């Protein structure tokens, strides 16, 4: 039984989902917590309501639907491609509004024509909003994590810095702090002189032996903590990260890329121009971006109404490519729809083969507020 009243326009949403040949599914309200804690990202992790079962296993109230729908797909061994639709309650600690609210959405699993699938979910999301908010001006923002990753990789940064930057995509404050750190080398405080000397010498065997001896001398067991080789590798990475300082040109290029914001129909040429001027090889990321733009145009979507922002991401760690949000253009504080591509998620959750995936979620309480204020 629902614990809060279901909005009266949900029938219209379900009708739109049915028109798009989706299969409606539900998932248990009580979910295993581990997948969310491991894969959802810091923003969602700190909002989850956690509990335990009688065996001490961590559980949570369902904070979103994407992971549960993917787990259900894997457990039922359903073939692909498959399009799922859902509508139900989710539970998150929120600074404003109720901690329990309704979400609906579509998860599109297994379609290997990724550009077409990306365009379709954006088109579906717009169509649903047009039905429940007729005549409302919508603001669509699109980003692409794969393009950002291609730029970071092409700049030749150390692997540790590439990982940090990519993990921070979509978190503007964190990304700004990392860029500031990259502008200045920072010493590692509190590092033993002997250890620092061995790291600097490049003698990995001596470093590992020294760490092993120190662990035995101080009573640390390798069974209860990281092995000496792992500690040595982490120390080396930490020193490399601390010592890395981007030259002015490289830092300027990264900042120039992140500042790109323009209508989607101008974005492809802007990305090509940026890469050419910077002398960067971005591989297939830009061609896949172009294919998505073409697929959106083929659906009849006005590209000039969609904004591409190079620094735009969403605060969920499982996104891999397309990310997008749709807002009420007259109230840019409330995100009505958010979604993106999550091609690695099903494999991480246990799928035996790679399953490309893309989808979106709709915040029904925000739509209800928008309808009330109209």
pTM: predicted TM-score of the whole model, two decimal places: 0.82
> 317: buried, middle or exposed (CB in 10 Å: 19+, 13-18, 0-12)?
buried
Q: Is residue 47 part of a domain?
A: yes
What does the alpha-carbon distance between residue 22 and residue 19 come to, in Å, rounded to a whole number? 8
Give the pLDDT of residue 40.
Answer: 81
What does the alpha-carbon distance between residue 280 and residue 304 come to, in Å, rounded to a whole number? 27
142 and 271, same domain (yes or no): yes
Q: Is residue 172 part of a domain?
A: no
239 and 315, same domain (yes or no): no
357 and 236, same domain (yes or no): no
- Per-residue tens of pLDDT for the chain, all 374 residues: 456 788 899 999 999 999 999 999 999 999 999 999 888 877 788 889 999 988 889 999 999 999 999 999 999 988 889 999 999 999 998 877 789 999 999 999 999 999 999 999 999 999 999 999 999 999 999 999 999 999 999 988 777 778 888 888 888 888 888 888 777 755 555 556 666 666 666 777 877 887 777 777 776 655 445 677 877 776 666 665 565 667 788 888 999 999 999 999 999 999 999 999 999 999 899 999 999 999 999 999 999 999 999 999 987 888 999 999 999 988 767 899 999 999 999 999 999 999 999 999 999 999 999 998 86
270 and 147, same domain (yes or no): yes
Domain count, the chain: 2
Structure token digits, residue 197: 């000397």
> 368: buried, middle or exposed (CB in 10 Å: 19+, 13-18, 0-12)?
middle
What does the alpha-carbon distance between residue 126 and residue 296 come to, in Å, rounded to a whole number? 12
Q: Is residue 179 part of a domain?
A: no
Give the pLDDT of residue 236.
Answer: 64
Q: Is residue 251 part of a domain?
A: no
Beta bridge partners of 358: 108, 341
213 and 106, same domain (yes or no): no
312 and 360, same domain (yes or no): yes
233 and 268, same domain (yes or no): no
Q: Is residue 23 part of a domain?
A: yes
Host domain of residue 239: 193-243
Are 169 and 361 in contact by the 8 Å Cβ rule? The answer is no
276 and 132, same domain (yes or no): yes
77 and 45, same domain (yes or no): yes
Q: Is residue 92 part of a domain?
A: yes
> C-alpha distances in angstroms, 267 versus 38, 92, 167, 287?
34, 35, 23, 12
Give the pLDDT of residue 223.
Answer: 47
Q: How do beta strands 306-309 and 138-144 pair?
A: parallel
Which residue has 């109720």 as its token pair? Answer: 98
Last residue of a domain, one of 243, 272, 305: 243
Which CATH number do you get for residue 362? 3.30.930.10
What does the alpha-carbon distance between residue 221 and residue 230 come to, in Å, rounded to a whole number? 14
63 and 133, same domain (yes or no): yes
32 and 72, same domain (yes or no): yes
Are 355 and 346 in contact by the 8 Å Cβ rule? The answer is yes
Q: Is residue 182 part of a domain?
A: no
Question: Count of alpha carbons within 13 Å of 143, Cβ hemisphere only?
Answer: 24
User: Residue 248: CB partners within 8 Å, gap ≥ 6?
Assistant: none
Give the pLDDT of residue 365.
Answer: 92
- Distance from CA of residue 89 to its chain's centroid? 22
57 and 199, same domain (yes or no): no
Give the pLDDT of residue 203.
Answer: 72
Q: Is residue 269 part of a domain?
A: yes
Nearest Cα to 258, choosing from 160, 183, 166, 321? 166
User: Residue 286: CB partners within 8 Å, gap ≥ 6?
Assistant: 147, 150, 268, 271, 272, 275
């Amino acid at each position: 039984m629902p614990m809060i009243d279901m909005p009266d326009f949900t029938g219209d949403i379900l009708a739109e989902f049915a028109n798009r040949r989706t299969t409606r599914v539900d998932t248990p309200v009580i979910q295993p917590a581990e997948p969310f804690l491991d894969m959802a990202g810091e923003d969602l992790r700190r909002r989850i309501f956690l509990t335990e079962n009688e065996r001490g296993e961590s559980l949570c109230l369902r904070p979103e639907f994407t992971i549960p729908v993917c787990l259900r797909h894997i457990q039922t061994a359903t073939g692909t491609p498959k399009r799922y639709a859902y509508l139900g309650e989710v539970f998150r600690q929120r600074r404003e509004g109720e901690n329990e609210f309704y979400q609906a959405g579509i998860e599109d699993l297994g379609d290997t024509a990724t550009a077409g699938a990306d365009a379709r979910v954006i088109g579906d999301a717009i169509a649903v909003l047009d039905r429940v908010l007729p005549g409302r001006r919508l603001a669509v923002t699109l980003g692409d994590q794969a393009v950002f990753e291609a730029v970071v990789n092409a700049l030749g940064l150390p692997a540790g810095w590439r990982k940090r930057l990519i993990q921070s995509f979509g978190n503007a404050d964190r990304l700004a702090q990392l860029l500031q750190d990259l502008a200045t080398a920072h010493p590692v405080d509190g590092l033993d002189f002997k250890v620092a000397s061995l790291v600097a010498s490049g003698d990995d065997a001596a470093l590992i032996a020294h760490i092993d001896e120190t662990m035995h001398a101080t009573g640390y067991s390798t069974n209860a903590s990281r092995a000496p080789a792992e500690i040595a590798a982490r120390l080396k990475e930490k020193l490399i990260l601390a010592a890395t300082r981007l030259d002015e040109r490289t830092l300027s290029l990264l900042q120039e890329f992140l500042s790109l914001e323009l209508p989607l129909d101008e974005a492809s040429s802007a990305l090509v121009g940026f890469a050419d001027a910077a002398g960067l090889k971005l591989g297939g990321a830009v061609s896949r971006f172009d294919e998505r733009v073409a697929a959106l145009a083929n659906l009849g979507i006005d590209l000039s109404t969609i904004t591409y922002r190079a620094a735009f991401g969403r605060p969920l760690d499982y996104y891999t490519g397309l990310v997008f949000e749709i807002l009420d253009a007259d109230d840019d504080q409330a995100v009505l729809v958010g979604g993106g591509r999550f091609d690695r998620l099903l494999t991480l959750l246990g799928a035996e083969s790679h399953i490309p995936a893309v989808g979106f979620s709709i915040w029904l309480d925000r739509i209800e507020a928008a309808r009330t204020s109209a």
